[in-house]
Amino acid sequence: MRRVKLDRIDKQILAELQADGRISNVDLARKVGLSAPPCLRRVRTLEEEGFIRGYHAEVDAERLGYAVSAFAMVGLSSQAESDLKAFEERVRGWPLVRECHMLAGEVDFLLKIVARDFDAYQQFLTGELTTAPNVAHVKTALVLRHSKDEPGVPVI
Distant-in-sequence, close-in-space partners of 12: CB < 8 Å, separation ≥ 6: 31, 32, 155
What confidence tens digit (pLDDT) does each residue in 109-143 have?
999 999 999 999 999 999 999 999 999 999 999 99
Yes or no: is domain 8-48 CATH 1.10.10.10?
A: yes
Q: What are the sequence ranges of the domains in the chain?
A: 8-48, 68-142
Contact 72, 103 (CB under 8 A): no
Strand runs labelled E in 77-134: 97-102, 109-115
What confidence tens digit (pLDDT) does each residue in 22-50 have?
999 999 999 999 999 999 999 999 999 99
In CATH, the number for domain 68-142 is 3.30.70.920
Residue 5's SS3 state is coil
Q: How is the beta sheet containing 109-115 ordered, strand by strand?
A: 97-102, 109-115, 68-76, 135-142
- CA distances 69 to 34, 80, 91, 107, Å, are 42, 30, 16, 19
According to DSSP, residue 95 is labeled T
Contact 140, 125 (CB under 8 A): yes
- Kindly report the pTM of this predicted structure: 0.85
**Per-residue confidence (pLDDT) for residue 66, from 0 to 100:** 97
* Residue in 67, 87, 69 with CA at minimum distance from that of residue 141: 69
**Per-residue confidence (pLDDT) for residue 152, from 0 to 100:** 87
